[in-house]
Chain A
Amino acid sequence: MELLIASAIGVLTAAGIYMVLRQRTFSVIIGTSLLSYAVNVFLFASGRLTVNAPPVLRDGVSVYADPLPQALVLTAIVISFGMTAVVVIMALGSYLSAGDDLVDVPDPHADIPQAPQTLRGEAAE
């Protein structure tokens, strides 16, 4: 089980980092989702892996599953779920208003606005 969990975290993280480094927002969002899955499993494992152990304190039990990481994972899942929803909407808005879904911002020096060659007074007339 240790090998399974460890390799799952490793593979998810590696895939997540690869996707995060892509150019288009959709792949990057997939990447952040994969990374958040990896971290959720990692948090779960931080309370040590146990099999068939009760999650709450009980009399006569010496080995139990640590309930705190499970609570932490729940919190982390909720937060990453909400954040992913936000970033999807923002990426969508950025795609619709900018016309492409690239992550980087295009060269800002391409269109430096030029001032009108008139004085304020003339422009007002």
Chain B
Amino acid sequence: MNHWIVAPVVLPAMLAAILVLVSRFHISLQRTLSVAGTVVLLGIVAGLFWQASDGTINVYQLGHWQAPFGIVLVADRLSTLMALITAVLAPLVLLYSIGTGWDTRGRHFHPLYQFQLMGIMGAFLTGDVFNLFVFFEVLLIASYGLMVHAGGANRLRAGTQYVLYNLLGSTLFLFALGTIYAQTGTLNMADLAGRVASLDAGDSAGIRVAAVLLLLVFAVKAAVLPLHFWLPASYAEAPAPVAALFAIMTKVGAYGIIRIYTLVFPPDLALTQGLFDTWLMPAALLTLALGMIGVLGSRRIDKLVAFAVIGSMGMLLSAVAVFTPAGIVAALYYAIHSTFATAALFLLVDVLRDRRGVVGAWLNDTVPVAGGPLVAGMFFMAAIAMTGLPPLSGFVGKLLILDAARASALVWWVWGTVLIGSLVAVVGFSRAGSQIFWRSHQIALAQADNAEYEEAEANIADPSPPQPALPMVAIGGLLALLVALTIFAGPVTRNLSATAAQLFEPEPYITAVMSMPGKVIKDDYHVDDHTDDAALETDEGGH
């Protein structure tokens, strides 16, 4: 058994405990340990990704109990890909929070950050739906702490809304799981796949309700239209590094949809026919439209980016809702792209908020931003990527989505919404960028009369306080990743095609999980460790 699979969960958990207990009062020790932890995590996850990249599906049985009795962690292409995105994002965001001192503005930033990583990694790696719920709760409870990090009335208000909304989401998740268990008698994803497929078509009301409930749960996480209300306020009010890390949280919802609806309720399953064409696709397109209109209508730059997140989730899910391998490839490519693009934008917004003084995030006239050219250039790049203009990865992602949408019955709706939505987003971002960087510049120059003209220009060109380099390095790293994602779009999409192919061939996954030998309960109900014995007593009697 490959024990490395559990390491991405155990490492942050142990590290968080050590950070709380040992280095509570030593911020430099905390920073060192936390950065070292995320770098090691990146190494481990990269190793897992490399192992899964030849198509093998590695299974880890917790406590060595055979599935479906025990909980399994599964490292296949999709899990390791999502874990890798998280592990790449984590150290960069951490560097930013250290460089700007966000981690010292409240207590326990680093332990909570590690717990959050633990939850995200676990959610991506687990092969059991109830365990998925538990890891959702782990990542949520850490995110509650991070969300209100550094306090403040507005942040606490937004935080309370966020927690309440997610509590309701968790309750819904439990209702869905209860229904699934009542219908199938199992919660292991691979086992579920087999049992759902063999359910009697005439008696399918319960399992159909469960499928829709589960879709709703993931839609809450992914901020799909009627369930998106929690996102704008929480992301805009959350501390910047936290909002940047949250960029991966909406993708957890998208991951859930992709995983469950390729494995347990595959697209060709008669029971759940029409779930995507009729419901998910229109919802995704409306989400896209709403996000882009929000971008145009926002009067604050942080709200603007939050709405851009909603728009990008709509874009991603419209690719998922096509539910062809090409659609999944487009969705995954767009997920990688939008994670790094939104993270970079949230960090840039924080830089702007900091340097614009009293005006903060509002799109008002004010003095020019210190260090303008660099920040403006980065904002320009990130905005180009986010809105999907060439030459950056957003454009490639959008092309893939448009191409994949040709398989959908709603192709013209998808094309229209995506293209018009992008145009609206371009207008919104240009307005924000020119307001912040150009208009303030003009005002500053106009206010100075001719005699002071040169002095004013010198003031703009040479900001007085020197700015720390580390935050800029972190943002630059994220933008460099976007550039790399564009340049290596060919190899990346080839890898993603293999991932999608693996998702649409669930048999190897099911076999890998279900046929892995482990401890079982034998006829005489004593634990038996000699597991070659095929005489497996299942718990069918209860149902």
Which residues in B have their C-beta under 8 angstroms from that of A20?
164, 168
Most buried by A among B151, B167, B370: B167
Most buried by A among B367, B448, B459: B367
Q: Is the CB of A36 within 8 A of B171?
A: yes
A42-98 residues with Cβ-Cβ distance < 8 A to B are 42-43, 45-48, 56-59, 62-66, 68-69, 72, 75-76, 79-80, 82-84, 86-87, 90-91, 93-94, 97-98
Q: Is the CB of A42 within 8 A of B175?
A: yes
Contact of B368 among A25, A66, A120 (CB under 8 A): A120
Interface check B270, CB cutoff 8 A: no
Q: Is the CB of B459 within 8 A of A120?
A: yes
Q: How far is the CA of A20 from the CA of B368 in the complex (A)?
A: 45
Contact with A along B358-369 (1 / 0, CB 8 A): 111010111110
Interface check B161, CB cutoff 8 A: yes
Q: Is the CB of B178 within 8 A of A119?
A: no
Bin chain B's interface residue count: 35 or more
Which residues in B have their C-beta under 8 angstroms from that of A39?
171, 174-175, 178
Q: How far is the CA of A64 from the CA of B525 in the complex (A)?
A: 14
Q: Is the CB of B542 within 8 A of A120?
A: no
Q: Is the CB of B160 within 8 A of A75?
A: no
CB distance from A83 to the nearest CB of B (A): 6
Main secondary structure of the interface of A (DSSP, over half): helix
Q: Is the CB of B543 within 8 A of A72?
A: no
Interface check B456, CB cutoff 8 A: yes
Q: Is the CB of B459 within 8 A of A121?
A: yes
Most buried by B among A42, A62, A84, A120: A120
Interface on A for B, CB 8 Å cutoff?
Answer: 20, 25, 28-29, 32, 35-36, 39, 42-43, 45-48, 56-59, 62-66, 68-69, 72, 75-76, 79-80, 82-84, 86-87, 90-91, 93-94, 97-99, 103-105, 108-109, 112-116, 118-121, 124
A-B contact pairs, 18 of them (CB 8 A): A32-B171, A35-B168, A36-B167, A36-B171, A43-B177, A62-B541, A66-B543, A83-B163, A86-B141, A90-B159, A94-B153, A94-B159, A98-B153, A103-B161, A114-B364, A119-B456, A120-B367, A121-B455
